[in-house]
Chain A
Amino acid sequence: MSVANKKPLDAAAVKEELLNKYPPKVARKRAKQITINKVEEGQADEVMANVRTIPGIITMRGCTYAGCKGVILGPTRDIVNITHGPIGCGFYSWLTRRNQTRPETDAHENFIPYAMSTDMQDQDIIFGGEKKLAAAIQEAYDTFHPKAIAVFSTCPVGLIGDDVHAVARQMKEKLGINVFAFSCEGYKGVSQSAGHHIANNQIFTHVVGENDAPKPGEYKINLLGEYNIGGDGFEIDRILQKCGITSISTFSGNSTYDQFASAHTADLNAVMCHRSINYVAEMMETKYGIPWIKINFIGAEATAKSLRKIAQYFGDKKLIDRVEEVIAEELPAVKAALDAVFPVTKGKKAMLFVGGSRAHHYQELFSEMGMKTISAGYEFAHRDDYEGRRVIPDIKLDADSRNIEELDITQDETRFRPRKSEAELKQLAEEGFEFKNYEGLMPDMDNDTLVIDDLNQYEADKLVEIYKPDIFCAGIKEKFSIQKMGIPMKQLHSYDSGGPYAGFQGAINFYKEIGRLVTTSVWANLKAPWEENPELSATYVWE
């Protein structure tokens, strides 16, 4: 508690305070994941990330299955997803992520409200579950007649050696629809991040490129790493449409099988969440020649910047002008909402510990509101998400990462098509246009702020106790311990019940929500009158 009373707070002292209760081995490891931000000439100090969670330390992280089935494939509505395993995993990933979806009509498919599982029993663990899986795929087909069925492996599946891919191949042949499987056992990797990678690989292998039919529209892009939580994707789609930009696919908010199948026909990949989806962007570039850029639709300014970047890529005056018109049309409402909230949010302090992108992206919105991010970190990111892609060659591949398959992708002989000529690329480079670059979170944070990877419950509680932020952002598991301390907590995985927060309308929603949270009266009523003034008066004088 010593540092709590010292002003100003010294990051090194806070770091020491966070570490001093740990057993020595834990403290040594955590010391490398808790970094005092030092950015010089755009280069940040190294932070240790994407390493094993320490047993017994209450982590915010989830597992590979959650990253694969929940995050990446969860938002797609017309694939029947079967969890192969005991019942729990399928149950917990059933409708719990607020991925919104909008089928074209009531007759179109939407399997998101269904949870399907092979519900493995002890005899399946002993004798193997392949036959049961094949029968379950058959039953799913007989019941729903979907265009595709995906199978997700849970922990015991890998251990007992069920060959889910062989079963999928066999059923694909038998049923004549696409059936594919994911070896996304929960123990793989060190966090849900491994699941994103596995999901990306299989979707790329089994679905992308299945439909060559050209889609109508101009300025065709894929939006990668946008999951339509709380309707973010709807707002982004609204803006893109208004600008005249055609979205061929979204990976994977509000998506369909056909969007993935046609993704290779787009001319640009715009990457929102770098962590979860950069693999697909890289593979599409190698195989089909689609370049990728990092964009961000969280924050009104960031949205405008991203739209301009897309327009600049296509380089067409019609689009460039239209984008400017749209920005000009949208910004007044944003400014009005910001003006309304700015007096109460200005100077307030935020902490963000979430995801593999959001702890970075949402700093844009807080900054627009005049709020300062005093500490931040990711739950499952890698070093490149913190320090920028320049560090990728330096990242050592450890045993846990080596277990995740890297696909060997080569150029597609018939469908590879460079989207830009050498001359065009040179021109864009001269304009300062950057392809496949992400600078990471740290360069955007102030020096001497704490950047903490895989924050745990103990450290979160300590940070709140020491810094007393005005708002803390993380996930559902963290929400209520923070709020018990009287600090408003905003979930940035599920957005609580809110959203969209992306795009222009999203920015307005977010300003209002944060304004509400930092001014709501409940926090002022924590003490009862008799707790505030516990002394007893000698006599009552009745009025």
Chain B
Amino acid sequence: MLLRHTPKEIKERSTLNINPAKTCQPIGAMYAGLGISGCLPHSHGSQGCCAYHRSMMTRHYKEPISAATSSFTEGASVFGGQANLVQAINNIFTVYEPEVIAVHTTCLSETIGDDLKQIVTKADKEGKIPEGKSVIYASTPSYVGSHVTGFSNMVKGMVSCLSEATGKKNGKVNIIPGWVEPSDMEEIKRLADLIGVGHILFPDTSGVLNGPLTGEYTMFPEGGTSVADLKSTGDSMGTLALGQWASTDAARLLDTMHKVPCKVLDLPIGLKATDRFIDALRIIGGVNVSDAVTFERGQLLDIISDYAQYIHGKKVALVGDPDQLIALTEFLVTLGMHPVHIITGTPGKKFVKRIKEITKDLPCEVNVKAAGDMFLLHQWIKNEPVDLIMGNSYCKYIARDEDIPYVRYGFPIVDRVGHQYFASVGYKGAMRLLEKILDQILSRKDRDEPEESFELVY
């Protein structure tokens, strides 16, 4: 057994997090920053943070992840990081020539109280920010919330630092996709294009973190939301914020700053959440939904009706980020499955409430916890076994120990390819998720059925 020290008996823990189901804010801010065209994320702290985030995202994407750091030493930690950041801004614009630097803080710079706004203003006054270039910033203390909070804060930083209202509407809809994969961002854009709604999607990591191998390397690939588009978000007709945890704050800020009305939706994962997204998009854009989209929806329904018997009533354990889990739980319920253990490491009371609502008609008990950890999830599984686990790569230890089929979903996925290139949002994304679930459940059936009931056709 890999996790041989995990006991079945659950003891209340109030201080020790074991096998976390979250990580810290700055990595989310870095990921969001990579979704701006020509942007170099910058970590204002000691260099280990930046090294860890770049390494983790590199393992997840198998792509170069460029980001810089203020490289605090003990002196900077005592006297403040202003000199480091001003020097870093100058070095970055001179050497790497990005359009934008997206600075986020760390627990170190937050604890000593560095004020990014003041430091960036100083750098600007000293002429360290070249004409036409921008430095945006977000406060992302690692000891509050989770990586999702950091993503949300940096997206909010894009609005607060760049968004402008000229008074002339641009006829577009802002779409904040939440912390989803580059493939998902691409899919959201495709759906909006199919429906015919002009849009500004931000951030947008498609093309940045799933780029091709060509023999040439560029630090700033084509792709990402342009600064011009980010500025223009203040002139949009409205904002669709996908995912309450990752996208609400930026959307609300656009409303406060520039009176851009917003609607917060779940991530478009699964049938019903995608339905709500498409419906909201066509209403806000005042257009009819293209037949092509309705066709894809029908294909998804077709697969569900063809294969529902194999997954009906199967119990699932889920771990991941709140926005993903809410939509995913709803999809599993739609499929007739029973998500019985659901954990997010990210705090938030609303999470438990939403999951309880979604699962209220299930004929079984549902364990759900926010600010939980994967150790607890494993213990729940030991007490009430499941037919399927869905979560990031760390779940493979539980899946192997307990011999349970397992679909990789979430962040990070460091041992399989696919998430970068194939979406899990929209109807096509739901088809892909369903295919993965079926593959796991049916492969297990193929492995375990006795000879007389081993079948060719499913």
Contacts and interface: CB of A to CB of B under 8 A. Distances in A.
Interface stretch (A106-114, A295-303, A344-352, A428-436): A106-114
B147 to A, nearest CB: 8
Contact of B15 (A132, A403, A483): A132
Given A113-B2, A119-B17, A477 B46 contact: no
A85 B46 CA distance: 14
Contacts of A61: 47, 51
Contact of A65 (B48, B88, B143): B48
Interface stretch (A137-145, A168-176, A210-218, A417-425): A137-145
Interface stretch (A20-28, A244-252, A369-377, A438-446): A20-28
A196 B152 CA distance: 36
Interface stretch (B68-76, B298-306, B439-447): B68-76
Contacts of A132: 15
A483 B211 CA distance: 12
Name the residue among A57, A88, A113, A125 with the largest chain B CB count within 10 angstroms: A88
Interface stretch (B104-112, B155-163, B200-208): B104-112
Interface in A348-371: none
A118 B42 CA distance: 26
Contact of A155 (B27, B46, B53, B69): B46
Contacts of A118: 15-17
Interface string A478-496: 0111111110000000000
Name the residue among B27, B74, B75 with the largest chain A CB count within 10 angstroms: B74
Contacts of B259: none
Interface in B21-48: 22-27, 42, 45-48
A156 interface: yes
Given A88-B27, A156-B107, A400-B74, A56 B88 contact: yes
B75 A399 contact: yes
Contacts of A55: 68-71, 84-85, 87-88, 91
B95 A21 contact: yes
B149 to A, nearest CB: 11
Contact of B47 (A63, A90, A485): A63
Interface string A181-219: 000011111111000000000000000000000000000
B217 interface: yes
B359 interface: no
Contacts of A142: 11
Name the residue among B18, B22, B45 with the largest chain A CB count within 10 angstroms: B18
Contacts of B244: none
Contacts of B72: 155, 187
Contacts of B143: 86, 120-122, 124-125, 156
Interface size class of B (residues with CB under 8 A): 35 or more
Name the residue among A111, A135, A155, A475 with the largest chain B CB count within 10 angstroms: A155
Interface string B53-64: 111101100111
A156 B46 CA distance: 11
Interface residues of A, number: 90
A52 B76 CA distance: 12
Contacts of A64: 48
A95 B394 CA distance: 9
A23 to B, nearest CB: 5
Name the residue among A94, A111, A481, A527 with the largest chain B CB count within 10 angstroms: A481
Nearest to A399: B75
A54 B87 CA distance: 9
B458 interface: no
B141 A122 contact: yes
Contact of A58 (B59, B67, B394): B67
B108 A62 contact: no
Nearest to A54: B91
A353 B222 CA distance: 29
Contacts of B66: 58, 457, 481
27 contacts: A22-B91, A54-B91, A55-B87, A65-B48, A82-B16, A86-B24, A87-B146, A88-B23, A88-B142, A91-B23, A111-B5, A114-B19, A115-B18, A115-B19, A122-B143, A125-B111, A143-B5, A154-B107, A156-B111, A159-B112, A186-B47, A189-B73, A476-B59, A481-B219, A484-B213, A484-B215, A526-B215
Given A62-B51, A399-B74, A481-B66, 17 more contacts: A23-B90, A55-B70, A63-B46, A86-B107, A88-B24, A88-B107, A91-B22, A91-B23, A92-B53, A96-B55, A121-B143, A136-B16, A187-B108, A458-B95, A477-B51, A480-B58, A484-B216
5 nearest A-B pairs in the assembled complex, by CB-CB distance: A63-B48, A88-B24, A56-B88, A56-B91, A92-B52
